[in-house]
Amino acid sequence: MGLLILGVLLWSGAHLFKRLAPDARANMGAKGRGPIAIVLIVSVVLMVVGYRSAQTYDLYSTPDFFRHINNLLMLVAVGLFGLGNSKSRLRAKMRHPMLTGMLVWAVAHLLVNTDVASLVLFGGMLVWSLWEMTVINKQDPGFTPYRGGSKAGDIRLVIITLVVYLAIGGLHMWIGPSPFPMGG
């Protein structure tokens, strides 16, 4: 569990570093990108290894149909992640589509993963995404919506979202647990 907690803290700290210590980050310049990227990679490895090796127990139970809600929310989360870099007209409607996608991802997983390790991982990412949005909004209260986007951008976003969603679902089916009900 320690590795998992350390991974979540490193992820949060690396992302918040620019906002909480802007002068220190600015002094690093472009050379700071490499070390921060390394910290982020290490944090993901720690989270994966820590989560998979954690000895844990269930804290609560949820109904089976939450799996369907999870799958729907995951489709939304993948779309929100993609929206942040898309040329979709929807991009102008949200200030933090990727962080909102992380928030939706975390909630979706907390609906179907009821153990302590899941609460640490997904709850930690939920708290980080809310904290990150709050810090950004406080430091930069003005919001300039994305200008542009097209119907073609909307269509590309939908297609890419579906392909990535199916790839994630396939990966989950391969490494477990399967997000899709199997059999009848």
pLDDT digit string, tens, across residues 99-145:
999 999 999 999 999 999 999 999 999 999 999 999 999 988 888 88
Closest residue by Cα to residue 164 from 79, 93, 65, 56 = 79
pLDDT digit string, tens, across residues 53-81:
999 899 999 998 999 999 999 999 999 99
pTM: 0.88
| Amino acid at residue number 58 | D
Residue 58, SS3 per DSSP: strand
d(CA 86, CA 96): 13
Domain boundaries, given as residue ranges, for the chain: 1-55, 57-184
